[in-house]
Amino acid sequence: MQNFTTKIVNLMKSEGLYASQGGPIILSQIENEYQNVEAAFHEKGAAYVKWAAKMAVDLGTGVPWVMCKQTDAPDPVINTCNGMRCGETFGGPNSPNKPSMWTEDWTSFYQVYGGEPYIRSAEDIAFHVALFIAKKGSYINYYMYHGGTNFGRTSSAYVITSYYDQAPLDEYGLLRQPKWGHLKELHAVIKNCSTPLLQGLQTNFSIGPLQQAYVFEQGKGACAAFLVNNDSTRNATVQFQDKAFELLPKSIGILPDCRNMVFNTAEVRTMPNKRIATVSEVFDAVSSWKEWKEEIPNFLDTSLQSDSLLEQMNTTKDVSDYLWYTFSFQPNSSCSQPVLHIESLGHVAHSYINSKYVEAGHGSHDTIGFSMDVPISLNDGMNNVSILSVMVGLQDSGAYMESKYAGLNNVNIQCSGSNSYDFTNYTWGYQENGRWVAARSGGGSIDGSDGKGENQFGYHVPRSFLKPSGNVLIVLEELNGDPLQISLNTISVADFNSPNSYNHLPQFI
C-alpha cells in the first residue's frame, strides 16, 4: 500500500501537478469507504486507518487528504460523505477545523443484469445539493457527472457494461435533459451567492412546521437565503423578511440577495430531451458471418486434472471468464430418472451430457451463489459430464476479498429413490475457453467493443475504435442467439419540441 501510494504521489510531484507546486490537484484521497469493512478486521481495522492516514500525510503533497465515509478519519485527514442525501445523512466533520465535504453525490446508480436503470430526478439532486450548501457544505463532487462504459472484463460482478448512463452526461457523453440544464442553473445561482457563503455568518431558524430558513449574512452587505420545504406532498407559503414566498413540495428556494427567489429546486425550466437510435447497418447477410464452434471437452481431453473441485479464479489466473469442469463416470443399472445437481458461487453454468447441451443456470448481484437441478439422460456405459462455469465480473468490494470463492463447489447426480452419486470430491478435468462466433463484414462492422450482457441489448462503440474500413466484429454467444439480428446504430438526442437531433454516436444492438 505504501509503495503504491508513494509511486503515485511521486509521479504527480514529478509533473508539478499539486496545487502547492502551482498545479491543478487541490485534494487527494486515501482509502475509499473503508469503514464499510473496518469492523471485519477488529482492532487491526482501526490501526490500519491511523496508519494509512499518517502514511499519506507524511508524503508531503501540500494539499489536503480525505477519507470517504470514514467517521474516524484521523487529523488532519478530512472525513467526507458519499451518497444521495448527504445534507440529511452526513454527521459533519469530526473536527471543527475541517470543512464539510460531499465527495460522491450519486446522480444515479450502477445497473445490474436483469435490473432496471435507477432514475434519480433532476429535482431530487438539486434539492440535496442546495441543502448541503445551506448546511455549510463547502464542496460537492458528482459521482458520476459523465457516465461511461466498462470495456472488456472491467465491470464488477453482475454489473452491466453501461455505467451511470443516467448521469447528466450519459454513457455517450450526450446531455441528459433536464438533469444537465437544471444542475447548470443551480450552480450558477449558488455561484452568485459566493460572497455571503464564503464570508458571511450562517444562521438557521424555523419558518413553518416543516420549513426552515438558512441565511448567510456578511454584516449589512451581502446576504443569501435558502428556504427549505421538507413537506413532500404540499406547497408551503412562508414568511421571510416581511415577504411571502411560495415553496413547492420538497423544494428549496434560493434567494441570492435575501429578497428575490430566483431558483427553486423543484421548478425545472429545462426542457427534457429524448434519445434516438438510427439504424446504420444490419448484419443480416449470412455470407458476412463466419462461425467457430468450440468442441465440448471430454475428461480425457483435458491436460489439467485434480481430485477435487478447483476454485475458478485461482485456476484461470484471471486470463479468462470461462472454465470447463468435466468428469466421466459409469452409472449402475439402478439409477433411474437421474437429475444433475450443481451448486456454484460464480456466476453462470452451462451443463452438457455427452456433448449435448442440457441447461443453464445463473445467480444474481444480490445472491452469493446459485444451484440448479437438471433432469438428464445417461448412457448405460461411460458418460461424460461437462460444465462450463462463467464469471460475470469480479467482486467490487468487501472484506477479505482475497479469500472469495468462485466456480463449482458441489456436483452430484441424484437417482430416484435414495441412490445418488457425489462428484464433489472426484477426479475432474479442467480447460479454459469459451464458445465463439465471429463475424467479418465489408467495412461496416465493429472491432473492439468488448462487453457481455444478459438482458443488455446495446453496447457503446467509441468513434476511436472504428477504422475507415476493415472493421471486425466478434460476438461470443453462449446460448445460440441469432447474429443476423445484430445492427449498428447511431445514437443522438433531440429536444421533445424540436425535430433537430445532434451528436451522433455509434452503438450496436
Give the whole-angstrom CA distance, residue 83 versus residue 142: 10
Looking at residue 72, what is its pLDDT?
93
Sheet with 339-344, edge to edge strand ranges: 370-375, 339-344, 408-414, 420-422
Q: What is the mean pLDDT of residues 239-247?
A: 97
Q: What amino acid positions are annotated as catalytic residues?
A: 33, 104
Which residue(s) pair with 356 in the sheet? Answer: 353
Reply yes or no on whether the pLDDT at 5 is more than 60: yes
Residue 430, all three cell numbers: 479442467
Give the whole-angstrom CA distance, residue 139 versus residue 82: 12
Q: Kindly indicate the confidence band of residue 423, based on its pLDDT and cuts at 50, 70 and 90.
A: very high
Collapsing DSSP to helix, strand or coil, 39 comes out as helix
Query: Taking the mean position of all CA atoms in its chain, how far away is CA 23?
Result: 30
Give the whole-angstrom CA distance, residue 66 versus residue 438: 47
What residue ranges of the chain are covered by domains with CATH 2.60.120.260? 299-432
User: Are 89 and 81 spatial neighbours (Cβ–Cβ below 8 Å)?
Assistant: yes
**C-alpha radius of gyration, the chain, whole number:** 29
Start-to-end Cα distance in the chain? 42
Looking at residue 506, what is its pLDDT?
67
The string of pLDDT tens digits covering residues 327-346 is: 999 988 778 899 999 999 98
Give the whole-angstrom CA distance, residue 424 versus residue 16: 57
If phi > 0 it is left, if psi is from -120 to 50 it is alpha, else beta; for residue 407 that is left
User: Are 478 and 350 spatial neighbours (Cβ–Cβ below 8 Å)?
Assistant: yes
The string of pLDDT tens digits covering residues 111-163 is: 998 889 999 999 999 999 999 999 999 999 999 999 999 988 888 999 999 99
Domain 299-432 has CATH 2.60.120.260: yes
Looking at residue 333, what is its pLDDT?
75
Query: Taking the mean position of all CA atoms in its chain, how far away is CA 277?
Result: 24
In degrees and rounded to multiples of 5, residue 240 shows phi and psi of -145, 120
In degrees and rounded to multiples of 5, residue 37 shows phi and psi of -115, -5
The string of pLDDT tens digits covering residues 434-453 is: 543 333 333 332 333 345 55
Collapsing DSSP to helix, strand or coil, 16 comes out as coil
User: Are 132 and 86 spatial neighbours (Cβ–Cβ below 8 Å)?
Assistant: yes
Residue 154, all three cell numbers: 472491467
Reply yes or no on whether the pLDDT at 401 is more than 50: yes
Which residue(s) pair with 344 in the sheet? Answer: 370, 408
Give the whole-angstrom CA distance, residue 490 versus residue 275: 10
Residue 78's CB: how many other CB atoms inside 10 A?
24
The string of pLDDT tens digits covering residues 36-67 is: 999 999 999 999 999 999 999 999 999 999 99
Looking at residue 497, what is its pLDDT?
64
The strand pair at 211-217 and 223-229 is best described as: antiparallel
User: Are 191 and 430 spatial neighbours (Cβ–Cβ below 8 Å)?
Assistant: no
- For residue 64, the one-letter residue type is P
